[in-house]
């Protein structure tokens, strides 16, 4: 089947223009998505290069500028991948790719085979770097794999372009044989470029969805998991505990006389106290332990693969740490104390791990009743619900 080169160039141009409009909307709407600006800039460069290459009509200068813009667009696309993954753009590499492409075209032109090889290599380089950058990061969502596969198609097409033109230069391939397959290399560029941008759109969608999920599972004040986030952690922990036939403990923590802090120093001080307590507790926990703020002045600690005796030791250490680390608020010392309740869960239990939360809560309130009848101190007072 014969493929018309002009038609394929027009398809590439329209495809780039369509995606450029999409990235323009995203860049203007979601300003935090900085990578969108890079991908938009790259597509604009592609849109400019298309008419230049079609209208060059043998003009070497226009052809060289068009091909250099194509190489630059892929280099900028690569920088967009880096920025998406919170890495700084490597502008020196962009300048090097653009300068090397333009210089090589002027040195080895105007022989068409050499021009084709230079153009192919100038695209393979940045696409390969972008592919590595895509697959190096974690976690990998579906968009990453789509973009990486598209990069593979682009590399395959341009690699074939470079090889066939090298065969032409060496006399091992005729012009007719080359042009019988050359259009398919351009088809690879059309398909690869479309799927490449689709992959980036999916990556952006994955990022937005992850950010929304984080907002839904995180407490704004303390940046700790909230009740929803804790439930997710509990579900994961239960599966692990069942598999390893160990036990887990839920620890409920409630600040004592928290209302007094708000009444005496204001709600800003109360917020500062909650953030302070969160930091103090978190600094005393183990790596696998999970601390969450589940509402008001209540915190919950999930202790995976832990027995009640060990959890009790951890709880005593936390109470002592809270009492010995007062909040400094506008030149005032704000003493803090907390009540803690514990409940242990074992795989053979008839209820789920999440269902022992009320037991830990009840144990904590028992501890609070006793503590509220005495002055705040470093005395450990725990109620255990086994």
What pLDDT score does 378 carry?
39
| Token duo for residue 207 | 């990022």
What pLDDT score does 363 carry?
86
| Token duo for residue 339 | 């009540």
Please give the full DSSP string across 362-381, using - where no structure is assigned. Answer: HHHHHHHHHHHTS---S---
Domain residues for 128?
Answer: 5-217
CATH classification of the domain holding 212:
1.20.1070
Residue among 117, 286, 141 nearest 210 (CA)? 141
**CA distances (Å), 291 to each of 96, 143, 280, in order?**
48, 32, 11
Single residue among 217, 237, 270 that ends a domain in this structure: 217
* Residue 353 within any structural domain of the chain: yes
* Residue 209 within any structural domain of the chain: yes
- The CB density around residue 317, as the number of other CB atoms within 10 Å, is 13
Single residue among 166, 188, 217 that ends a domain in this structure: 217
Same domain, 231 and 369: yes
What pLDDT score does 371 carry?
62
Bond into 110 cis (ω within 30):
yes
Same domain, 270 and 167: no
Separation of first and last alpha carbons in the chain: 76
Of 254, 289, 297, 361, which residue is the catalytic one?
Answer: 297
CATH classification of the domain holding 335:
3.30.70.270
Same domain, 211 and 233: no
Same domain, 376 and 315: yes
What pLDDT score does 23 carry?
95
Residues (pLDDT < 50) of the chain are 1, 375-386
| Token duo for residue 292 | 């969450």
Question: What is the Cα–Cα distance from 66 to 91, expressed in whole angstroms?
Answer: 20
What pLDDT score does 382 carry?
46
What pLDDT score does 373 carry?
61
312-357 pLDDT tens trace: 999 999 999 999 999 999 888 999 989 999 999 999 888 999 998 9
* Residue 155 within any structural domain of the chain: yes
Residue among 303, 276, 293, 301 nearest 226 (CA)? 293
Question: What is the Cα–Cα distance from 129 to 232, expressed in whole angstroms?
Answer: 36
The distance from CA 227 to its chain's CA centroid, rounded to whole angstroms, is 23
- Compute the chain's Rg from CA coordinates: 31
Same domain, 186 and 315: no
User: Residue 249, SS3?
Assistant: strand
Residue among 44, 78, 75 nearest 148 (CA)? 78
Same domain, 198 and 249: no
Same domain, 161 and 33: yes
Single residue among 173, 198, 217 that ends a domain in this structure: 217
297 is catalytic: yes
* Residue 222 within any structural domain of the chain: no
Same domain, 161 and 235: no
Same domain, 248 and 193: no
- Which residues, including other chains, have CB under 8 Å from residue 180's CB and lie 6 or more apart? none
Same domain, 269 and 302: yes
Q: Is the alpha carbon torsion for 196, 201, 204, 206 positive or negative?
A: negative
Angle at 183 between CA 181 and CA 187, to 5 degrees: 115
Backbone φ and ψ for 252, nearest 5 degrees, come out as: -95, 130
Same domain, 69 and 182: yes
Domains: count for the chain: 2
Side by side, the strands of the sheet bearing 248-255 are 290-295, 298-303, 248-255, 338-345, 382-385
What pLDDT score does 374 carry?
55
| Token duo for residue 160 | 């074939």
Q: Percentages helix, strand, coil for the chain, rounded to the nearest 5?
A: 70, 10, 20
What pLDDT score does 361 carry?
87
Same domain, 361 and 259: yes
| Residue pair 190/11 in contact by the 8 Å Cβ criterion | yes
- Burial class of residue 338, CB neighbours in 10 A (0-12, 13-18, 19+): buried
* Residue 267 within any structural domain of the chain: yes
What phi-psi label fits residue 296: left (phi over 0), alpha (psi between -120 and 50 degrees) or beta? left
* Residue 339 within any structural domain of the chain: yes
């Amino acid at each position: 089947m014969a493929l018309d080169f002009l038609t394929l160039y027009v398809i590439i141009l329209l495809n780039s223009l369509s995606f450029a409009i999409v990235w323009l909307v995203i860049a203007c709407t979601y300003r935090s998505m900085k990578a969108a600006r890079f991908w938009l800039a790259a597509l604009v460069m592609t849109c400019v290069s298309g008419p230049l290459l079609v209208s060059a009509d043998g003009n070497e200068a226009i052809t060289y500028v068009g091909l250099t813009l194509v190489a630059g667009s892929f280099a900028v696309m690569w920088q967009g991948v880096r920025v998406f993954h919170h890495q700084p753009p490597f502008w020196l590499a962009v300048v090097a790719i653009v300068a090397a492409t333009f210089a090589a075209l002027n040195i080895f032109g105007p022989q068409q085979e050499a021009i084709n090889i230079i153009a192919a290599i100038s695209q393979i380089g940045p696409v390969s770097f972008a592919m590595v950058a895509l697959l190096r990061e974690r976690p990998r969502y579906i968009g990453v794999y789509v973009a990486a596969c598209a990069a593979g198609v682009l590399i395959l097409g341009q690699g074939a372009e470079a090889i066939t033109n090298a065969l032409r230069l060496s006399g091992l391939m005729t012009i007719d044989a080359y042009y019988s397959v050359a259009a398919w290399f351009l088809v690879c560029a059309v398909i690869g470029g479309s799927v490449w941008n689709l992959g980036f759109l999916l990556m952006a969608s994955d990022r937005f969805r992850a950010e929304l999920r984080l907002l839904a599972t995180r407490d704004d004040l303390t940046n700790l998991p909230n009740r929803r986030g804790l439930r997710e952690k509990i579900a994961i922990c239960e599966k692990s505990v069942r598999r390893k036939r160990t036990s887990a403990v839920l620890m409920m923590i409630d600040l004592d006389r928290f209302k007094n802090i708000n009444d005496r120093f204001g709600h800003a001080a109360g917020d500062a106290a909650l953030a302070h307590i969160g930091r103090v507790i978190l600094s005393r926990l183990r790596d696998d332990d999970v601390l969450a703020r589940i509402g008001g002045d209540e915190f919950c600690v999930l202790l995976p693969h832990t027995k009640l005796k060990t959890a009790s030791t951890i709880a005593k250490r936390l109470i002592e740490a809270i009492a010995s680390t007062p909040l400094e608020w506008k030149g005032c010392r704000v003493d803090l104390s907390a009540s803690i309740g514990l409940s242990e869960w074992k795989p053979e239990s008839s209820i789920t791990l999440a269902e022992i939360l009320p037991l830990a809560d009840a144990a904590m309130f028992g501890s609070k009743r006793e503590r509220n009848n005495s002055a705040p101190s470093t005395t450990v007072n725990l109620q255990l619900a086994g």
